[in-house]
Homo-oligomer: A and B are copies of this chain.
Amino acid sequence: MSRKILVLPGDGIGPEITAEAVKILNACRDTGLGITLEDGLVGGAGYEAFGEPLPAETLDKAKAADAILLGAVGGPQWDKLEDISKRPEKGLLGLRKNLNLFGNLRPALLYPQLAEASSLKPDVVSGLDIMIVRELTGGIYFGQPRGIEERDGQRVGFNTYVYSESEIERIGRVAFEMAKKRSGRLCSVDKANVLEVTMLWREVMERLSADYPDVELSHMYVDNAAMQLVRAPKQFDVIVTGNMFGDILSDAAAMLTGSIGMLPSASLNESGQGMYEPCHGSAPDIAGKGLANPLATILSVAMMLRYTLNESALAERIERAVGSVLDEGLRTADIAYEGTRKVTTTEMGDAVLEAF
């Protein structure tokens, strides 16, 4: 059986970093993994070629794929597009929505070799290992009605933050299962003291917890969660939250590690199909210079092997290879410091390949 992988390099540093990750995918194939790779255009690259951030051809390929490896989308040249449906981000959001990739897994893991990179004190973050489970196809990102319109002689902008019980339950189960496999602790983040939609969220999480007696559920308001992530992040193991709060908290959590260039992510649907991408963005300012860190994308391949292809042994091999190049002192510019060896994007990819 051969599984189909769609590679969507996207914009900015996307092509450089996915190229390194593809080397690892090819190496996996050489070990006997049954995969076939295909390419596609998305984001600004899709817009330039087809006038659409998510060309129909790309969406068709994505639907047919078992897994997608995405680089990153966006760049300043498209930020001023009047028609916002043409912006690169819409390509990403369209993929998430059309493939129903509601379950977003965002680990925030501190690599011991990179402990110095954090802006936090070592004792606050050493050993940090949080998994943020973010709902990705609902909430205020997709809620209707939305828009900008004239009311009483002035313009008004509006969006709708909405979740149904079944949407909450679906992501809740992903998070409870994750907590079960990890420490057994799950913290659900909401703003139930103000927002009705998150009161329902809290209620459904409570109800679900009866099905997971071995998971200890707690609740936290989002403002407090942002504070606690800064104050004492190691109190958390698995966090589950909605699309918007997840966007904010997962970026804050990722930055606690000081090396966002290291963090992968997975976005899954109910049949296990998944899109895998680094947590960082397209970094247009350093694109094409060989400065980008390919490790988050390479580690996204590891997540792909674990969550879609059910090849955890191979996933661990990749993760070990990354660990060993870090042990050797190899660093791209974003994580380099005195006493380490600065390497380019390609050199880093090749080093991982060799250690694999």
Contact = CB atoms under 8 A, between A and B. Distances in A.
A157 B251 contact: no
A197 interface: yes
Contacts of A230: 119-120, 230, 252, 255-256
Interface in A209-250: 222-224, 226-232, 244-245, 247-250
A225 to B, nearest CB: 8
Given A157-B198, A164-B151, A196-B146, A252 B226 contact: yes
Contact of A255 (B140, B159, B191, B227): B227
A251 B232 contact: no
Output the residue of A191, A193, A226, A260 with the most chain B CB within 10 A.
Answer: A226
A183 to B, nearest CB: 21
A294 to B, nearest CB: 20
Query: What is the count of identical protomers in the complex?
Result: 2
A196 B157 contact: yes
Interface residues of A, number: 62
A219 B229 CA distance: 24
Interface in A146-178: 146-148, 151, 154-166
A196 B154 contact: no
Name the prevailing secondary structure of the A interface residues.
Answer: helix
Contacts of A287: none
Interface of A: 74, 84, 87, 89, 93, 119-121, 124, 140-141, 143, 146-148, 151, 154-166, 191, 193-201, 222-224, 226-232, 244-245, 247-252, 254-256, 258, 260
Given A158-B161, A230-B230, 8 more contacts: A89-B193, A119-B120, A119-B232, A143-B158, A160-B160, A223-B248, A231-B255, A252-B252
